[in-house]
Amino acid sequence: ALHTLTTRHEALRTRFVEHNGLPRQIIDPPPADRPMTVVDIPADSVDTWVTEQVNRRLGLATGPVFRTALARIAPDDHVLVLVVHHIVADGWSVGILTTELTSLYAAETGLTAENPLPELPEPNIQPADHAAWQRARLDDDEFTRQLDHWRTTLADLPTIEFPTDRPRPAHPTGAGARVDRLLPHDLTSAAHRYARTNHVSFLAIHHAALLTVLHRYTGQTDLPIGSILSGRTHT
């Protein structure tokens, strides 16, 4: 299944080398096979083992930019680690890769014998094709137009005067924390229904809730917030 995944997606077998001071991509041919070494580890060592796999550097010039590791902690219990460089895969891409790998694995192991999965269609475009199209598009006046639009839109942004329990540092440090909280199922279901009914994204619902809280604490109506987006304009 991993071999098929690597064969399907050129990005997973692309290397990036320097040529006359500029980066150049080299797409290696599909490998003949993809051997998988299985290591036996105790269950209480999984976190340490995973951390070791993730922290091993990926070589952009030498490859691979996509690495896998498999550990067996019991006869019927394994841990698979997939490590892919951000230069060839983002969050959206990871969703595609894991979905395809699941389908390919199920087909290879016969897990879908009673309800066979449809074969995955061949990709009609590879990332290198899209990158070339995007570069050509941004080499004309479109890039300048978009840049001017955002320079105007984001000019003179106000500071959100959110009350805090300590003074705002003169220079941002980037230090912070992450807090995870599970919301009630009824609340998330209602939010999804609202998004579908009003033809808006679920992200927009999140933004509305955040902006409501910020407005309540600050009294401001012009509230700049940042969000991570895929940047996709084509499926």
The pair phi, psi for residue 17, each rounded to 5°, is -115, 165
Domain end (from 106, 123, 140): 123
With respect to residue 19, please indicate whether it lies within any of the assigned structural domains: yes
Residue 153: is its pLDDT beyond 70?
yes
Residue 140: is its pLDDT beyond 80?
no
With respect to residue 221, please indicate whether it lies within any of the assigned structural domains: yes
The pair phi, psi for residue 18, each rounded to 5°, is -95, 130
Domain end (from 123, 145, 174): 123
pLDDT of the residue at 227: 83
pLDDT digits (tens, 9 = 90+) for 160-207: 888 888 888 889 888 888 899 999 999 999 999 999 999 999 989 999
> Regarding beta strands 38-40 and 66-74, do their DSSP bridges make them parallel or antiparallel, or are they unpaired?
parallel
pLDDT of the residue at 54: 94
Cβ atoms of 81 and 221 within 8 Å: the answer is no
105 and 187 fall within a common domain: no
Q: What sections of 110-201 are H helices per DSSP?
A: 127-138, 141-153, 185-197
With respect to residue 140, please indicate whether it lies within any of the assigned structural domains: no
pLDDT of the residue at 188: 93
pLDDT digits (tens, 9 = 90+) for 28-44: 999 898 888 999 999 99
189 and 117 fall within a common domain: no
80 and 11 fall within a common domain: yes
Q: What is the mean pLDDT of residues 90-109?
A: 89
17 and 118 fall within a common domain: yes
101 and 192 fall within a common domain: no
Smallest Cα–Cα separation from 87: which of 162, 11, 20? 11
Residue 235: is its pLDDT beyond 80?
no
Q: Which residues pair with 14 in a beta bridge?
A: 27
Residue 49: which H helix or E strand, with range? Answer: helix 46-55
**Total domain count for the chain?**
2
12 and 111 fall within a common domain: yes
pLDDT of the residue at 30: 92
Residue 116: is its pLDDT beyond 70?
no
Mean pLDDT of the chain: 90
- Domain region containing 195: 183-228
Instruction: Give the percent of the chain with pLDDT over 70.
Output: 96
CATH number at residue 14: 3.30.559.10
> Regarding beta strands 14-19 and 22-27, do their DSSP bridges make them parallel or antiparallel, or are they unpaired?
antiparallel
pLDDT of the residue at 115: 59
Range in 113-117, 124-128, 206-210 the model is least confident about: 113-117
105 and 191 fall within a common domain: no
* Angle ∠(153,158,160) on CA atoms, nearest 5: 125
Cα separation, 127 vs 135, in Å, equals: 12
Question: How far from the centroid of its chain's Cα atoms is residue 56's Cα?
Answer: 19
